Amino acid sequence: MRIALAALAILLAVSARAEAACSSWNPVWRAAAAANAKSVTASTWTFFEGRKGAEEGPGWDMYVPLILRTLDIRCEASDPGFAKALAGFQRRAKLKPTGRMDAATARALRGRWQWRRDFLKKAAKACPLADVATLQPVYAGDTRVLADRRVLTAYTHMRRAFEDAHPYMIRFGALDILSAWRDPAKDREVCKDNPTCNGVAKTDHCSSHWSGMALDLYVGMTGDYGPIDSNYENRLYQSRTVIYQWMLDHAGEYGFVNYPFEPWHWEWQEEVPAY
Ligand SMILES: [Zn+2]
């Protein structure tokens, strides 16, 4: 009984401390929190606005789970503790530490996330293309697709770990492969007359799917949208699923890093830097 009481006391102390980290009586953080509570669903600037304007926002709600990992806190975006932690990030990024999310802070966070992707560093020099002869087959539903052997090995381990944590979700298609290696010529052909086709029609575009190192995985979908529909409402929904949140916490252990605009898109690399 005494042990149980001691355990309960520790539990309460831990949760009280977690709550304390999210709340604050400092009027600066409280005012910043009120501003964040508004802009999170209303800001006109967004994190990836340069990509396809209509598919972002209003607001930056869909990036909150990723921001929390980056700040290493578990609060709501409307909490003073969030504002205080954000000010810490702003200070490190040499921005004014207001604790309020704004366009410059969004840019800095996006830069931090994109910096974690080896693919972008490689693509800056030359578009990395797969040696198609070495790719391994795997099934995406009934379709046989191809991917790099190392990617598939890592994927198998990761999927098993997810299944251990959430056995019932696997039966509903969680983490099923939707797309893997894609043929650049075919991608260009499909997108030839469609300027919004993931930008593929542009000649300077390079897709990480051409390298055999990227997988699109099922993380959920809502309404009439499909699992790789970049409509903001769909992506906002995906950002809160158990599958995506698990991936944010664990995918890096298996070498997978996310392109944050697309909750379903994961690239494999040998080392994934911390948030
Ligand atoms: Zn993808």
What spacing in Å lies between the alpha carbon of 264 and ligand 1's midpoint?
A: 7
Same domain, 138 and 258: yes
- For residue 41, name the pLDDT band (cuts at 50, 70, 90): very high
Q: Do 141 and 249 belong to one domain?
A: yes
Distance 218 CA to ligand 1 centre (A): 11
pLDDT value of position 144: 94
- Give the contacts of 18 (CB within 8 A, at least 6 positions apart): 74
Domain boundary among 115, 137, 153: 115
> Rounded mean pLDDT of 255-261?
97
Using an 8 Å Cβ cutoff, are 268 and 118 in contact? no
Q: Which helix (H) or strand (E) holds 2?
A: helix 2-22
pLDDT at 57 (0 to 100): 85
The DSSP symbol for 273 reads -
The Å distance, Cα 182 to ligand 1 centre, comes to 10
Q: Is residue 61 part of a domain?
A: yes
- The predicted structure's pLDDT at residue 225: 96
The gap from C-alpha 236 to its chain's centroid, in whole angstroms, comes to 11
- pLDDT given for residue 56 in this prediction: 84
Do 201 and 167 have their domain in common? Answer: yes
- Has residue 141 got a pLDDT over 90? no
**Mean pLDDT over all residues of the chain?**
90
CA distance 39 to 193: 36
Say what angle helices 64-71 and 103-115 make with each other, to 10 degrees.
Answer: 70
Query: Do residues 199 and 259 both lie within one domain?
Result: yes
- Looking at the fold, whether 149 and 206 belong to one and the same domain comes out as yes
For residue 56, what are the domain limits? 2-115
Q: Alpha carbon of 75 to those of 20, 57, 125, 142, 187: distances in Å?
A: 10, 21, 39, 41, 41
The answer on 254 and 161 residing in a single domain is yes
Domain final position from 115, 143, 168: 115
216-238 b/e (C-beta count within 10 Å ≥ 16 → b): bbbbbbeeebebbbbbbebbbbb
CA of 93 from ligand 1 middle (Å) equals: 29
Give the tokens for residue 7.
């355990």
Q: Answer whether 175's CB lies under 8 Å from 246's CB.
A: no
Q: Is 170 within a domain?
A: yes
In a domain, 120, yes or no: no
What is the Å distance from ligand 1's center to 221 Cα?
15
Do 194 and 258 lie in one domain? The reply is: yes
Residue 241 forms part of a structural domain:
yes
Count of domains forming the chain: 2
Among 115, 142, 176, the domain boundary falls at: 115
Residue bearing the bigger pLDDT, 49 or 129? 129
- What is the CA(114)–ligand 1 centre distance, in A? 15
Min mean pLDDT across 190-199, 204-213, 256-265 is at 190-199
pLDDT, tens only, 221-248 = 999 999 999 999 999 999 999 999 999 9
C-alpha of residue 202 to centroid of ligand 1, in Å:
17
Instruction: Say if residue 9's pLDDT is above 70.
Output: no
Give the pLDDT confidence score for residue 197 in this predicted structure: 67
Residue 122 lies in a domain: no
Write out the DSSP string of 182-246: --HHHHHHHHTT-TTSTTTTSTT---GGGGT-EEEE-----TT--TT---HHHHHHHHTSHHHHH
List pLDDT tens digits, range 74-84.
999 999 999 99
- Whichever domain contains 228, its CATH number is 3.30.1380.10
Q: What is the DSSP letter of 158?
A: H
Q: Is residue 26 part of a domain?
A: yes
Question: Tens digit of pLDDT for each residue in 195-224?
Answer: 666 655 555 689 999 999 999 999 999 999
235's tokens: 């992506």
Residue 43 has pLDDT above 70, yes or no: yes
In a domain, 131, yes or no: yes
Question: Does some domain include residue 275?
Answer: no
38 plus 134 within the same structural domain? no
Q: Do 133 and 91 fall into the same domain?
A: no
Q: What confidence score (pLDDT) does residue 198 get? A: 60
CA 118 to chain centre: 15
Instruction: Count the Cβ atoms, other than its own, within 10 Å of residue 64.
Output: 21
Residues 106 and 152 in one domain: no
Mean pLDDT of 100-118: 97
Do 212 and 264 have their domain in common?
yes
Tell me: do 78 and 143 sit in the same domain: no
* DSSP state, residue 175: T
Ligand 1 centroid distance, CA of 206 (Å): 12
In this prediction, residue 205 carries a pLDDT of 81
